[in-house]
Amino acid sequence: MPATLGSAARARYAALTEQWLAEDLDAWTARVVRRHFDPEGGSPYWLARAADLPFDPRDITRYDELTSFGPFPLDVLRETDPTALVPRSVPRPLTGRIWESGGTTGSPCRVFYTEQMILHRGVWRRWSFVTEGFEPERRWLHATPTGPHLIGHGAWEISELYASLVYGIDMDPRWVKRLIRAGRLKDAADYTDHLLEQISTVLATQPVDYLNTTPALFAALSRRHPDLAGRLAGARLSGTQLSGDMYREFVEVLGGGPCGVSYGNTFGNAASLPAEREGDLLPYVPNYPQVTMAVVDKGDWRRTVGYGEGGQVRLTVLHDDLFLPNVLERDQAVRYDTGDGWPCDGVANVRPLQIAQSAPEGLY
């Protein structure tokens, strides 16, 4: 791990985000689609699907035309070899990690991240650390899911891209969801106790500055160990169980230290903008241009709702090495007008589309 983050590295990461924000979305879309449908170097999955499409994807020139693909079937990511979605122009054999979703609504989805995709995600996370007020070269406790979950890779992002020291815990979100589905609520509470014990032990014995975890776990920590939560210099929270009341409570607990929030999943992420209306409006902007989000009518996924209106989140992934158009998320949000500050729409006040025992959010 680098002892410090040099000025050259900081300038390189800042230049990357500026470069991405300057991209024209229509031109970016056309280039990425052509890459995935190139007869020689395209993605095996998309080349196989091309024969069944009533149009030639290589004719697409605008982002809005991506609705022609229809909603992306998530079962593809459950049943297909994830490397089939990576263009052949990426040298084989592929090496690296295959990441999995949480499996809230069924069997987990799987995607392969190339090095450039990992870097893209990490650089935007670093952008969030900077804009939210977290200082580099500090000590973090990374209390998030581990194993096959991409969020666990955040320990690398914090240590390598922000020159920090990172502690961790063991966390299996699928076990909690399984317990909730089975109605074993006491066992689910016991597992939450197990996680809080790990977190509190590190915080009580080690000089930790920042905590990265979920809103549900930070709320539980603040209730059970207010002294430990209050000693933190800041916290960064990822998940959809975050209300305005919770945000205000967290800000108070942290005593003015940064309280950063993020939204996303295995496919794509969004960074937070400053809270508005004292926390009643919590806006996010996607990791443009590789990730975009729209808020659409729950009854008509093609229709984007008006600014300030609520609807279902529709995610589109436009990486050079992964193309996922029109993923209908299990989340709802308010469409957020970024004005001149961002080249695409944002989302705000994200929460689950529905919460049921069969599809529990668990510790998120």
What confidence tens digit (pLDDT) does each residue in 244-284 have? 999 999 999 999 999 999 999 999 999 999 999 999 999 99
- Please enumerate in sequence order all residues whose Cβ is within 8 A of that of 116, keeping only pairs 6 or more positions apart, or say none: 319, 320, 321
Is residue 247 within a helix (H) or strand (E), and if so which, with residue range?
helix 244-253
Give yes or no for residue 364 having a pLDDT over 60: no
Is residue 191 within a helix (H) or strand (E), and if so which, with residue range?
helix 185-205
Q: Report the pLDDT averaged over residues 30-54.
A: 97
Give yes or no for residue 357 having a pLDDT over 90: no
- Burial (0-12, 13-18, 19+ Cβ within 10 Å), 152: middle
Stated pTM of the model: 0.93
Residue pair 222/250 in contact (Cβ under 8 Å)? The answer is yes
Please state, as a whole number, how many other Cβ atoms lie within 10 Å of the Cβ of residue 308: 12
> 5 versus 309: which is more confidently predicted?
309
Distance of CA 33 to the CA centre of its chain: 23
Residue pair 111/137 in contact (Cβ under 8 Å)? The answer is no
Helix (H, G, I), strand (E, B) or coil at 221: helix
pLDDT of residue 239: 85
Q: Name the residue among 343, 295, 298, 337 with its Cα closest to residue 316.
A: 295
**What is the spatial distance between Cα 150 and Cα 172, in angstroms, rounded to a whole number?**
13
Q: What is the per-residue pLDDT across 228-255, written as a single tens digit (0 to 9) for each?
A: 999 999 999 998 889 999 999 999 999 9
Give yes or no for residue 60 having a pLDDT over 80: yes
Strand partners, 296: 304, 312
Q: Report the pLDDT averaged over residues 127-150.
A: 95
Confidence band, pLDDT 50/70/90 cuts, at residue 355: low
Give yes or no for residue 362 having a pLDDT over 60: no
Sheet with 210-213: strands ordered across:
165-168, 139-142, 210-213, 234-238, 259-264, 269-272, 283-286, 346-352, 322-336, 310-319, 291-297, 300-304
pLDDT of residue 2: 46
Sign of torsion, CA 286 291 292 297?
negative
Tokens of residue 10, six digits: 């900081």
Say which range, 1-15, 201-215, 228-242, 262-276, has the weakest mean pLDDT. 1-15
Tokens of residue 106, six digits: 């069924």
Beta strands in the chain (DSSP E): 98-100, 110-112, 139-142, 165-168, 210-213, 234-238, 259-264, 269-272, 283-286, 291-297, 300-304, 310-319, 322-336, 346-352
